[in-house]
Structure 1
């Protein structure tokens, strides 16, 4: 259904979830505050997240990767789930950092019904509302582009985009889905998951490692370390091992180990390395 891809930079996400089921089993609210690090082949499998970028001149690659003229800084997501109708709807407010002037905002969306609410642009202390001239979509690449009436300026500029979204709960493992169970009668519950998946290129890997090595928020570093442990390529997994041996990681080593479970291929390789070098690591 959806796998919105987040920027490869620290992003703060606030989620408020509601259930529209009358049963007390399903009437629950949660407001977790998460800091996530994902991009390209590091994807968040969830219906609740949008990634925005913009460019008038730089075309999107065939892979569907977004340009980096605009990056998301913060997401505030409210989701209302109707377990009687097996649908959901919500509102997302996205705080954006404008790195390069642009007339467009592009984000990933697969099968989601999206409605534009407003776009506020702030530059040099002045804020104005920007309207949308038109909306275009690329179904094959799962992209939606907002074409703006006014340019978003770079340098000391931020923007805030508010979107409505909704759809049916997916009948499968991807996106925001539903699961059927019986307890005297047929019932449903809704689920989604945040999961690190395969990342491929050495450039992606290097950027993840840079974030793991440099000072950043604790949760961002943890996400980066887990991603290093989950590398799907044996050559990159070997680089992870060299990184482990070259650094005194302490508690951070545990987060790398947690990442091993994300990929069987590298899990066997790195588990063998840990076993062979246990004494050196323990010392």
Structure 2
């Protein structure tokens, strides 16, 4: 037995050179990256500002925190609406892109062209789209919805494509042999396989859109970001604390609920 194990180990390829070169390459990249970053230190009032932000979170403006007309709840509601509509429209738009980019559904040249379009959409960050849509529609929540709709296409399409390319074609062949038409094959063969992954991806994208919607307000695309930056510029740390406290609570609640829903979908 010992001889057999030793003989098997001797047959294993010696990869230590490749592993050593890989580690050396990674270390060289890290060292090179560190050389390009200049540490400027912390500003004189940086520590004071950090303390004020933490103090603001611990002592938020209670009037603003519980003002349901113009305070934090109203701003959070607007942020939720922007994220919900943006992720919804983005998911709907991503479905045709996903099928057109799946090589097991359409010809390869169609898949390559659609994949290139999706990659081009994913190239620009949400801030760039936000600035562009603000020029088109003006500042406000509508610009935020358009921004998140477009940015959602890239990520959601990529995950949808993976699910579509993992389809079990044997089920479709069985339905075809049973005499099912195209609609029936989609209804009973494709949708049951894709629904769980699609729903889970859409929920996950909503989480991301919620965080993006919070920052898009910084460029005027609605949401809670604009009041946050205004309060910070005015050194009104109690308002900053109220807004950040509301954001923390909202994100935690959404993440807990979305995790439970995704686990429920995964387990059936």
TM range (shorter): under 0.3
TM-score (norm 2): 0.20
Bigger RCO (CA 8 Å, 6+ sep): 2
TM-score, normalised to structure 1, is 0.19
Going by fraction, where is strand more abundant, 1 or 2? Answer: 1
Structure holding more helix per residue: 2
